[in-house]
Amino acid sequence: MFDAKVHVIDHPLVAHKLTIMRNKNTSVKDFRELVSEIGMLITYEATRDLPLTTKHIETPICGMEAPTLAGKKIAVVPILRAGLGLVDGVLRMVPSARVGHIGMYRDEETLEPHVYFCKMPKDIAERDVMIVDPMLATGGSANAAIAEMKRRGCRHIKLMVLVAAPEGIECIRKNHPDVDIYCGAVDEKLNDVGYIMPGLGDAGDRIFGTK
Ligand code: PRP
Ligand code: URA
């Protein structure tokens, strides 16, 4: 019935910024700033379908019926921890969005994701939801986060990531064909411990400087 689309943000600024992020010598400060900047650029594309209405305004020259957002309710939902790095960029583009948090950790051996925290705006079921996380690797975390949002009644969900692996995209397309994916790049594959190749390493550790 649905056919989830993968939107790769094919833009020189995104490509350039991602290259700096991929470099293992990039500092925590620069990495964190770049996550936020690319978050802003991807949000620009991910909000392209927001409905507009018009309102009457007076310019200094004359009156006009001017376009204005139709007031859709949006929630940005970062997958903890690394998803937090993208929130600021989304909010700079959509300042009225609400923020819900979903905590997800992966069992280090099985790579199975578990929800350990979920705090959403009360009216989350009425909102368009943008789940954000820098990495879509096996897809396990995003898959579980989307399932949790659907369990809470959300029907319009998008997934925004910086780097995706083909395996993760396949996982989301198979389990959630109604969820469009917005990403800065699709990389080659996963390595044998579930990291994206070439990727950018452990996004959470690089954002928060924990390694
Ligand atoms: C990373 C990343 C995603 C997940 C992707 O988080 O931010 O949430 O891995 O992997 P997957 O697609 O195979 O599920 P991680 O589990 O390292 O936690 P962190 O955000 O605390 O660093
Ligand atoms: N999580 C990360 O932070 N990086 C990867 O490459 C895969 C999962």
pLDDT range class, residue 107, cuts 50, 70, 90 = confident
Backbone CA torsion sign across 67, 68, 74, 76: positive
Q: How far is the CA of 143 from the centre of ligand 2 (A)?
A: 15
The model's pTM:
0.95
Query: pLDDT tens digit string along 2-50?
Result: 567 999 999 999 999 999 999 999 999 999 999 999 999 999 999 999 9
Q: Over the range 153-186, which residues count as b (16 or more CB within 10 Å of their CB) and which as e?
A: ebeebbbbbbbbbbbbbebbbeebeebbbbbbbb
Ligand 1 pocket list (CB less than 6 A):
79, 81-82, 104-106, 111, 113, 133-142, 168, 194, 202-204
Q: Does residue 134 have a cis peptide bond before it, meaning omega lies within 30 degrees of 0? A: no
Determine whether the shortest distance from the Cβ of 208 to ligand 2 is under 6 A: no
User: Of the ligands numbered here, which is closest to the C-alpha atom of 211?
Assistant: 1
pLDDT of the residue at 1: 46
Which SS3 state, helix, strand or coil, does residue 159 take?
strand
